[in-house]
Structures are given as C-alpha cells and as structure tokens.
Amino acid sequence: MQALFGQLLVGLINGSFYALLSLGLSIIFGLVNVVNFAHGAMYMTGAFFAWIGLSSLGIGYWPTLLLSPLAVGLLGVVVERTMLRRLYQLDNLYGLLFTFGLTLIVEGLFHHQYGNSGNSFPVPEALQGGSNLGFMYLPRYRAWVVLVSLAVCFASWFFIERTKLGAYLRAGTENPRLLQAFGVNVPLMMTLTFGFGVALAGFAGVMAAPIYQVTPSMGSGLIIVVFAVVVIGGMGSILGSIVTGIGLGLVEGLTKYLYPQAAATVVFAIMAVVLLIRPAGLFGREK
Amino acid sequence: MKRVASSLMMAALLSLPAAGRAAGKVSDGVVKIGVLTDMTGFYSDLSGPGSVLAVKMAVHDFGGKVLGKPIEVIAADHQNKADIASTIARKWFDEDKVDAIMDLPNSGTAFAVMPVAAEKKKLTILSTAATTSITGDKCTAYNIHYTYNNWMLANGTGREVVKSGGDTWFFITADYVFGKSLEEDTANVVKAAGGKVLGYARHPQSSADFSSYLLQAQASGAKVIGMANAGGDTINTIKQAKEFGITPKQTLAGLLVFISDIHSLGLETAKGMYLTTSFYWDYDDQTRAWSKKFQNHPDNAKKAMPTMTQAGLYSATMHYLQAIKAVGTDQAEPVIAKMKATPVNDFFARHGVIGPDGLHRHDAFLVQVKSPAESKYPWDYYKIIKKIPAAEAFPSVAAQKCPLVK
C-alpha cells in the first residue's frame, strides 16, 4: 500500500510535466491551428538555455526560470514571423511537417555542439533535500515542480477562460476573420500566442533541468507522450490538457506499480480507446 | 669481413623478392580500415568520433604505411540500426575494398555485421559491443572482441561488491536483451559469491523518469542497487537516486558505465559508485601519456579523455597492423592467426591474449568514483580498488562454448 501511494505521488509529479507541456501545445493548436511538433525541441532548448546560462554566464536557477522561457518565447516569435506564418493558408499538415523538420535541425545543432551524454544542472540550494512522508521520501524540488506547474496551469486557464484578452483568443479560435473585422490585430495575436505556447515549453524545460540530464534528445522522448495527452484531452482544449496530463501521469504511476513493463504503452492504449469512442477527445468538441 | 659483407648482400638479395611478394599480398594495394560506429546517437560520446580518432591516431603512429602500401581509414554512422550496419558492411567489403571493420557499438549491429564479414572472409574487430555471446555461441572465425564484455562487467562489479559487504541486491534493468542478459549474468555472480537478489524493476529503454523504480529499490532494503542499463538511462538513474536520498544509504553499482558518463554527471552526483573498466587514463605513465595525446589532439573537439572502447581501438589497430607486417599479407586468416598467437602488452592491455574464440582477455580494474574533495585535477575520477587479473576478468575458453573451438 505504501508503495502504491509512492507511485501515485510520482505519477502526479510526471503528470504535472505532461500538463505543462500539453497546455502549450493545446493553446498553439487552438489559436494558431499548428500541430507544433517542435514543442519537444523547445522544451529541450529551454533546459539547455538554463544550463548554458549557468555554466558560461553564471546565471542561477531563479533568474533563469524567467529568462530562459523568455528567450525560448522570442525564438518562437522569430520562427512564427519569418517561417511558420507562410504556411497558414495551407493544410495544417504542412505546419506539422515544418515543425518536425525544425525539431530535427534544432536537435542536430545541439547534438553537434554538446554531444549526447548531456550535462548536469544542479538542484537550486533552497530546494535541496526533502522530507519523509512515511510512505515515501519526497524531494523538495519535486514538490516545487508540482506546485508551480499547477499554479501556471491554473493561471493560464484563468487567463484564457476568464479575461477579456482570453475572450479575444477564444474568439480568434472560433472565427479569426470576424474578430479581425472588429479591429483586433489577429496576426499579432497569433504570433504572441505561439510565442507564449513555446515559452511554456521552455519553462517546463527549465523545471526539468535539475531532474533529468540536459541532453539534446530529452524532448523527443517526451513529446510523443505529450501528443497522446493532447489527443486524449481533445486538441485545443485547455482544461482537457491540464486534467488529462495529470490524470495520465497518475495512470502511468499506477501501471508502474502493477506492471512496470507496460508503463510506456499504457498511455497509447488509452489514446487508441479514446479515439475509437470519442474521436474529438474527452474534452474536445466535434466540429 | 668479406664473408660477412657477402652474406649480408646475399640476405638482401634473398629478401628482395620476399618483400616484393609480400607487398603484392596487400589486396587492392591498400589496407583499408572501416570504423562503423554510432556517430550521432546514444553511444556517440563513448565511441563515435572518438573511436574514429583513436583508429586514425594508431594508423598515424604506425607510419601510415604497412608492407609499403598505404593504410586508409574510413568511417560511417550506422545509427544503431542493424539493417543499416549490414548494408554498409556489404558495400564496404564489395565496393570499397575494406579489409577490417572496427568498433560496432550495440550488439545488434555487431550480430548483423559479423556474419557478413565471415562470409566475405574479412575481419571484424569489436570494441564497443558488449554481449558475451559474441565470442560464445555466436562466435565467428573472423572476429575479435577486443575491449570488454558483459561477463567482465558483471563479474568485476558483482563479485567484488559482494566481497566488500554488499550482499543484497536489487536490479534496475533496461527491458531488452542487453539489459536482461547483464542482469542475469550479474545475478548469477552475486548468488555464487554468497549474495542474495531481492528483486528487480524493468523499465523501457530510454525512459526519462526512474523515480518509481528507485522507490521500489528503496522499499526492497537491498544494500546495493545494480543498474543493468546503459547511457542516458544509467545517467538519469544515478541522478535521481541522489535526488530521492537513496545514495549514500544504498550503494549504486554501475554495470555499464563509461568515464564519459561520469564526466557528464559530475562527481557530486556519481561519487561512491563502483564500476568495472578495462582502461583508466590515469593508471600509470603509459596510460597518461597516450590519453593526454588523445585529449589534446586537434580532432578531439570536446577535449574529452578516452573511454575504454576508444583506447581499446587504438591498441587493436596497432595489433592488427603489426600482425599484417609480421605475416606479410593483409589476408584475414593468417592475420587473425598471428593476432591470436601474439600476446598484447601495451598502454591499454596488460597480459592480453586473444583466445581461439576471438575474445581478448586482459587485466581489468574495479574502481570507485571519487568524491569532489578527493579529485585533485580535471578527469581525476576513479580510485582503483582492485586490479582484476585477465584470467578472472574474462570467462575461460571452455566456458564460452564457442562452436569453433573443439
């Protein structure tokens, strides 16, 4: 029983990563209508910026938590303005292929420069250590990850669902032309949305840096699961990706307890079932 | 005096046609070595470009020529895929006049290329592939397994850690052939040495999160956690073990850990871990001299110290070229016979002998990773706990059961 609690808590930790990543993906798909395959690469870039900042510029964890996502977001803005924008009038398969190619290039560049074994980013001093909960030892940093992810997810949800700017975003998702007719600068909004979405990925990357080794391939392993999360939750549904992200983390944790060999597959099994029963996802709407 | 002079003359005359004949026996007028390795993937830091460099350094130090003919080195990336590896091997042997293929990280590619080489009667000299059965039931007459194998890793670490008091084990194992075979080999050694295996957790290859497996290991109460995985998986296991407060209460035993992994983890995270290696750059003057040459080579962009597989490749290339020189041809059969007949004693191998099964048996080291306080200069990473003599470090010829050996 103790082991089960431990695994569920670990599942919650992983789930909050999934939620953070799938949230950005969902926001981008919802408004910009791009299936952003480069999301994993942006997550990796965020982690690498943190590591580069620390090792060559001496920038610590706390400023990096803000600076690195900002840099990744800027990168996203540049990519959107100079390249991705040209693909909007085409089928969104082109956006998918473009971002996939971008992933390969970005990963290749980091690989060429930093090799594949990766680099260690230390846990910030204030968050070192942990506490014994009786059924498991909870590292303080992991608790921090859960809290921050939940806070960021909630803030994003609140911003999009409850504020006026959020209402514009949602209106843009429904009918961009009409919104433009009302005098809203939709292209700028799309650029900023894309930037914000990938900044979230960069943020998740910084959060992950002290836990996982910072390697060029760290994003590509995660992105597939995150896509499954988005598909299960419903493409473009903000609440869907948050709830599904955390939920799937828990299911994965449970699987690791019951039958660890299936831990990598269980998410996809669920995805297949959901697609058969509700093709638009658990929280998605049929169009 | 006159007689001496005339006999010298005679000898010179006699040797002339011999030299001419020998030069004629270098096939296609060139000795060509193909380094088939992982240039960009999982194993590229521990083999990859460093492997190519080691082979090139050996060719350069040998003088660039053998029997009067040039030595060429080519390289390719097999991307860790068996089909790509065997396709490149066929092309190399058929069209590019390659005489020997070296390195081959990951046993899958090794098993794909070895039969091709045997069919074409060309050499394979493996350095990074680790599976014990390479020179066991899957051995070929044209293969040499030069640097290390799973048996060496399992025995070195397993037996010695049990002896020093770590008698209860829990395994965190990569859920594929390599991981399971490494786990099984080690578990047998642990049991034979009087230890107990309390359990195991098997994870899919290239997992990022190991916390749940580590929690199981923690709950088992085992003194030692054996990591039967490799590369990034091992690195993340070690990192997260520290995070969850598992080390130093329980000791980690790395079953396949390279110095490049330790470098990337940092000593603060890796300290105290036991592992077995066939080479450590800082062992003696010879190893230091060669390793510094490798580290400062202009082609070594990351200025990394050599891993055991890279050092092994230099030694293997030298041994190969010397054998060609000695037998006067680059034909595989006599060269391989000569390589097996000649003991290896250089900066890499001590008491090295290549057995009839193709396994190079030489001394190995059980080491423990230093703490940051113990480390005095860059790459000062290991304390040598024990030198394991060749006969104990590798399985005997009889134990390998290679069908070629009757």
Interchain CB distance below 8 Å, B212 and A257: yes
Residue A65 burial (C-beta neighbours within 10 Å; 0-12, 13-18, 19+): middle
Range of the domain at B302: 28-148+284-362
Q: Which residues pair with B39 in a beta bridge?
A: none
Residue B78: per-residue pLDDT: 93
Residue B15 burial (C-beta neighbours within 10 Å; 0-12, 13-18, 19+): exposed
Nearest to A141 among B216, B243, B302 (CB): B243
Residue B161 lies in a domain: yes
Higher-pLDDT residue of A222 and A155 is A155
Q: What's the gap between Cα A122 and its chain centre?
A: 22
Q: What is the pTM of this model?
A: 0.83
Residue B11: per-residue pLDDT: 47
Residue B196 and residue B138 in one domain = no
Structure tokens at B358: 């193709």
d(CA B261, CA B70): 36
Residue B8 lies in a domain: no
- Report domain extents, chain A: 2-277
Ranges assigned E (strand) in chain A: 130-132, 137-139
- Answer for the pair B267, B370: CB distance below 8 angstroms, yes or no: yes
Rg of chain B, C-alpha, whole Å = 22
- Answer for the pair B402, B357: CB distance below 8 angstroms, yes or no: yes
Query: Which residues lie below 8 Å from residue A170, measured CB to CB, with a gap of 6+?
Result: A160, A161
Q: B121: distance to nearest CA of chain A, Å?
A: 35
Closest CA to B110 of B119, B101, B100: B101
Please tell me the total count of domains within chain B: 2
Residue B111 and residue B223 in one domain = no
The list of chain B residues with pLDDT below 50 reads 1, 8, 10-23
Residue B268 lies in a domain: yes
Residue B195 and residue B235 in one domain = yes
Residue ranges of the alpha helices (H) in B63-146? 82-94, 107-120
Using the Cα atoms of residue A208, residue A213, residue A219 and residue A222 in order, give the sign of their dihedral: negative
Residue A133: per-residue pLDDT: 82
d(CA B231, CA B65): 36
Residue B36 and residue B57 in one domain = yes
Q: A214: distance to nearest CA of chain B, Å?
A: 10
* Contacts with A, B 6-45, CB within 8 Å: 40-42, 44-45
Interface test with B, best of A213, A261, A266 (most B CBs within 10 A): A213
Closest CA to A244 of A254, A260, A232: A232
Q: A118: distance to nearest CA of chain B, Å?
A: 6
Q: Does B341 reach chain A within 8 Å, measured CB to CB?
A: no
- The predicted model gives A259-276 an average pLDDT of 89
Interchain CB distance below 8 Å, A119 and B264: yes
Report pLDDT digits (tens) over A37-48. 999 999 999 999
Interchain CB distance below 8 Å, A139 and B245: yes
Residue B20: per-residue pLDDT: 40
Q: Does B175 reach chain A within 8 Å, measured CB to CB?
A: yes
The CATH architecture annotation of domain A2-277 reads Orthogonal Bundle (1.10)
Residue A253 reports pLDDT greater than 60: yes
Interchain CB distance below 8 Å, A120 and B264: yes
Partners of residue A2 in chain B, C-beta under 8 Å: 219
Residue B399 lies in a domain: no
Query: In the predicted model, what is the mean pLDDT of chain A?
Result: 90
- Answer for the pair A220, A212: CB distance below 8 angstroms, yes or no: no
Query: Which residues lie below 8 Å from residue B175, measured CB to CB, with a gap of 6+?
Result: A261, B202, B203, B204, B205
Residue B368 and residue B354 in one domain = no
Residue B139 lies in a domain: yes
Q: What is the CATH number of the domain that holds B137?
A: 3.40.50.2300
Interchain CB distance below 8 Å, B269 and A217: no
Residue A286: per-residue pLDDT: 66
d(CA A257, CA A6): 9
